[in-house]
Amino acid sequence: MAKLTTVEVLLAQEIKDLYNAETQLVKALPKMAKAASNPDLRDAFKTHLEETKVHVQRLEEVAELLGISPKGKVCKAMKGLVEEGSETIEEDGDGTVKDLALIGAAQRVEHYEIAGYGTVRALAELLGLKDVVKILQTTLDEEGTTDKNLTALAEQIGPVALEGAAAE
């Protein structure tokens, strides 16, 4: 691990962290989609999988612009978030309640990514890297949209989950 001696080194470390986080998510999202019982939620996970693949490509582009490799760091936070999501996938119970749990797991991931992309965008801005800022902002905007879409799905699925629980 490199010593954090400059903003450039910090930016490189943060890009590596996000790159690993996104590649972990590429593997996790198909499992979340498969576990979802609501077709809209399933589609949302599949759509975000395709976006996440593009996020990986963008981070590779950013790394190239910075003259670094995006590889070489394990994002322990994403590893933990993915493990929690896996626990949710393994849970038995009402499908709509489980969907709400999956949304919660997915939003934790989104909030981590929003924080990470906000940080790297700010660092790139500080360094005057306009091309990098633009690329990172595009991804940050998409992560925010995904988070809002997940909230809307929770608001749609929540009442259905309540009805199911009341019927039991």
**The two structure tokens encoding residue 9:** 């080194």
Q: What is the pLDDT of residues 109-136, one digit of tens each?
A: 999 999 999 999 999 999 999 999 999 9
Where do the domains of the chain lie? 7-160
Handedness of CA 142, 144, 145, 147 (dihedral sign): positive
Q: Does domain 7-160 have CATH number 3.30.70.890?
A: no
Q: How far apart are CA 102 and CA 8, in angstroms?
A: 36
- pTM for the model stands at 0.93
C-alpha to C-alpha distances, 165 to 41, 89, 93, 105, 168, nearest whole angstrom: 20, 19, 11, 21, 5
User: 94: which residues sit within 8 A by CB, 6+ positions away?
Assistant: 161, 164, 165
Instruction: Give 137-161 pLDDT, tens digit per residue.
Output: 999 999 999 999 999 999 999 998 8
